[in-house]
Amino acid sequence: MNIEELRDYCLQKHGVTEGFPFGEDTLVFKIGGKVFILAGLDDGNRFNAKCDPELAVELREQHDEVKPGYHMNKTHWNTVYMDGSLSVKQLHEMVDHSYNLVFNSLPKKIQEELGG
């Protein structure tokens, strides 16, 4: 998967917006105004995804391509490299997990407004 495919996949999700709130080098995807994926455009080979803390550690132990979140809270965020042995399905699952974590943390009213 590359940065364009990541972007397309994120934007297919209901209620997702994209922007550059941290500068032109970092593409950010949000649901309900909350970040669920950040992708650096300088290298274009990785993204940061929110993750359940226990799963975050498990993924880091299982995959060399999953590291503690770069410039993020390392308990809740992973940096995931897309140019290794992770399959597209595995990468999609990490994006889905991040999206669902953030969506489910939103107030019920906002979830309903977004169609959840």
pLDDT, residue 43, reads 84
What angle do helix axes 3-11 and 88-105 make, rounded to 10 degrees?
40
pTM recorded for the entire structure: 0.94
Q: Which residues of the chain have pLDDT under 50?
A: none
pLDDT, residue 116, reads 60
Give Cα separations from 10 to 38, 91, 109 (angstroms): 11, 11, 22
pLDDT, residue 75, reads 87
